[in-house]
Structure 1
Amino acid sequence: MKPSRGTPDFLLLFLTLGMVGFGIVMIFSASFTISYWNMGSRWFFTQRQLIWAGLGMFLMLFTMNIPFKYYKKHFLLILVVSFILLLSVFIPGLGIKLNGSRSWIGLGSFTIQPAEFAKLGLIIYLAALISKKQEKMKDFKKGLMPCIIVTLIFFILIALQPDYGTALILATTAGIMIVVGGARLKHIFYIILIGIAVIPFIIFSADYRISRFTSYLEPWSDPYGSGYQLIQSLIALGNGGILGTGFGKGIQKFFYLPYPQSDFIFSVIGEELGFIGVTIFILIYLSLLWRVLIISLRSNNSFGTLIGVGFVSLFAVQAFINIGGVTGTIPITGVTLPFVSAGGSSLIVSMTAIGIILSLSRENNKSTQ
């Protein structure tokens, strides 16, 4: 009997589409004022997100229909493409500098952020390498060293843009995968110590990062400067209360809150939907992550499990950094909320990652005919 591929996990598919749809609705609410003021159309950011969502849907369905074994077979090719994309931001005429960071490449109005695709490439690479080495992961030179070297190269290339928020997400995700992959806790402990020693250097190596850190500790010390973003975000969340002001009725998006459609969209959600709405949103988001984890744990090979762990870690860490920043729990780093914030590269990569997990679910559900 010839084995056939099974059906995809429809619960994960519906959760993903629901999250993306919710994001589009909230982007319209958050951006229609600044969109009209800057672009002459209330729908500018919403239309762009719809286009990116359509492309993300295509890539999700495309990757879902690629047999899962091919991701492990071509992991080096995927890594090399990710590496070339990261290097391309430094090429004059191709790399684009926005808001002080050279993090984009593009031609005309079409731009992509290679660091987002690097997350995908590194997760697939680490999953393939760790699953191949298995017990060698306990050996520092033969198992752990190759993982650390590639992760460090990607981290440095992203930090040089500079984009320390994305670099931190990538490094943390890689660290979780390495721990789950069986590395010795002693080796992990030493790596964490080195990371802790590097953090002060990163913070104090640039004036704007020092300002972000001090504003995190005491935003009211500079309410119209470094503390402005956090203060406006906290005001938005405070305005929301328990039930929220109602969809579309938030105040802070009217030129008070910076980047309400992207970095601070969670603040808009909190203001308009309130504590109850935010709680429901987080529970649905956690359900999506839990479903990805369940699918990966059902895999009959370590590569599938590690892919799922990598994607869950990526989405969870990035969401924590975004929500933690806008709520004042941690310093603001300027990263997007996966599936929800405006941004083409982030949405495409997130939906592509779900497509890969859906391919894994089809592999888990295959039956003989």
Structure 2
Amino acid sequence: MKTRGVPDFLLLFLTALLIGFGITMVISSSSIYAYAGQFTIYGCQYCGGDELYFVKKQIAWVALGSAAMLIAMNIPFSFYKRHFLLISLISLLLLVVVLIPGLDTEAKGARSWIKLGPASIQTSEFAKLGLIIYLAAIISKKGERFRQFKTGLIPPLIMTGLFFCLIALQPDLGTAAILLGTAGVMMICGGANLKHLFLLTVPPFSLFVFSYITLNPHAWPRIQSFLDPWSAPLDSGWQLAQSYYALARGGISGTGFGQGIQKYLYLPEAHTDFIFSVIGEELGFIGTTVFLLVYLSFLLRGLFISLKAKDTFASLTGIGVVTMIGLQALINMGGATGSIPITGVPLPFISYGGSSLMVCMIGTGILLSISREVNRQKALELLQAKRP
């Protein structure tokens, strides 16, 4: 008798909790900017007047993301394993398309978006999922041979390097760093030889960072503003200084939901890159701690599901999704608190932004699909144990 496993309801609940909290914080952080601001979004001019502008768009993305998550949840993870090559090639093609003049849409200085009617998608976000599925399939196919230098580790590294370079050319270094970190964790969990991995990744990455800092005229001022934002608080250090003001003003208990002042056009990107600062200001240390505990619970639950999977592909895919979301959250909050340089990546499930939200929800759908298989196997084992 064939049984269908149920999805992990705790992960589903934690996901809904994060998304609901994200919509709430987008309402608070974006209303002033949406009402008073004049800006261009993906080539479309907007002159303010509607304080719910961003909220309505975010809710629309949540609806689309929920549908995508449910679809991904009901697709057996073996489907991704069978079609991993097609998925990775489509992801690469999308990264190439945005580099072709005339086909891309530039935003925040990066050519990462493709306009599709009234909306735009950020191809680098979807590329992260494409690479995760590719690496999980390749590593699980190679098995013990993955520890070999030429036939094991080199092919996945070449594909990872290709993805990294295409995203870095946009340029979107924050997403490129998340992709590289996710790939590294997956390779280590897949049994890669650490000595080979170190020798093949650290020297070229160090050379890339050195070249970027040396050749990019905007790189060094950003590093200086990270090290000492107070040296230019009205210029390059403005974002980080305003983020510090928001977090400091929040104190222990916060100013109260909707009562923050930094979102009154003082703090740039308050509803996207710096939404964590608004959370800190309005909810304080206590509210931020509770939020982080929910976030941590989501990541640990996803990791628990991944490690329970008996299939190597499913386990590595789940680890990749959890690492991707966890690294992105870490980089976003690290930038807002001045722990690392600002990279401009959104806070998963919380920040305004359709592509990031969609990819996180699809990734969660894949985790739920894995949990269904884990629960199915558990149910079968219980049925067999009860047989005389």
Matches of 2:108 and 2:217, distance apart in 1:
15
The Cα shift of 1:192 comes to 2.2
Q: Which residue of 2 aligns with 1:299?
A: 309
Structure 2 counterpart SS, 1:365: helix
Q: Which residue of 1 aligns with 2:195?
A: 186
Q: How many residues align?
A: 368
Bigger mean CA offset, 211-220 vs 264-273: 211-220
Matched letter for residue 152 of structure 1: G
Q: Which residue of 1 aligns with 2:207?
A: 197
Q: Which residue of 2 aligns with 1:70?
A: 79
2:17 pairs with 1:7: no
Q: Which residue of 2 aligns with 1:135?
A: 144
The Cα shift of 1:108 comes to 4.5
Within a 5 Å distance, the mapping from 1:50-199 to structure 2 comes to 50-190=59-199, 191-199=201-209
| Residue pair 1:215, 1:227 contacting (<8 A) in 2 also | yes
Structure 1 counterpart SS, 2:5: coil
Matches of 2:131 and 2:303, distance apart in 1:
18
Give ranges in structure 1 of 5+ residues lacking alignment: none
2:261 pairs with 1:251: yes
The Cα shift of 1:316 comes to 1.2
2:284 pairs with 1:285: no
Q: Which residue of 1 aligns with 2:44?
A: none
2:48 pairs with 1:49: no
Matched letter for residue 116 of structure 1: E
Q: C-alpha deviations, 1:210-237, integer Å up to 9, x for none?
A: 1110101111111111101000001000
Q: Which residue of 2 aligns with 1:28?
A: 27
Matches of 2:282 and 2:251, distance apart in 1:
9
| Residue pair 2:318, 2:366 contacting (<8 A) in 1 also | no
The Cα shift of 1:125 comes to 0.5
Matched letter for residue 84 of structure 2: F
Structure 1 counterpart SS, 2:218: helix
Matches of 2:167 and 2:208, distance apart in 1:
16
| Residue pair 1:8, 1:362 contacting (<8 A) in 2 also | yes
Matches of 1:128 and 1:22, distance apart in 2:
34
Matched letter for residue 172 of structure 1: G
| Residue pair 1:9, 1:362 contacting (<8 A) in 2 also | yes
Q: Which residue of 1 aligns with 2:363?
A: 353
| Residue pair 2:240, 2:338 contacting (<8 A) in 1 also | yes
2:330 pairs with 1:320: yes
The TM-score with structure 2 as length reference comes to 0.93
Structure 1 counterpart SS, 2:115: strand
Q: Which residue of 1 aligns with 2:40?
A: none
Give ranges in structure 2 of 5+ residues lacking alignment: 38-47, 384-388
Matches of 1:58 and 1:200, distance apart in 2:
43
Q: Which residue of 1 aligns with 2:36?
A: 37
The Cα shift of 1:40 comes to 1.1
RMSD: 1.1
Matches of 2:15 and 2:110, distance apart in 1:
30
Structure 2 counterpart SS, 1:207: coil
Question: Matched residues, percent identical?
Answer: 55
Q: Which residue of 2 aligns with 1:233?
A: 243
| Residue pair 1:94, 1:107 contacting (<8 A) in 2 also | no
Matches of 1:341 and 1:138, distance apart in 2:
39
Structure 2 counterpart SS, 1:338: coil
Matches of 1:108 and 1:348, distance apart in 2:
17
Matches of 2:61 and 2:208, distance apart in 1:
36
| Residue pair 2:272, 2:347 contacting (<8 A) in 1 also | yes
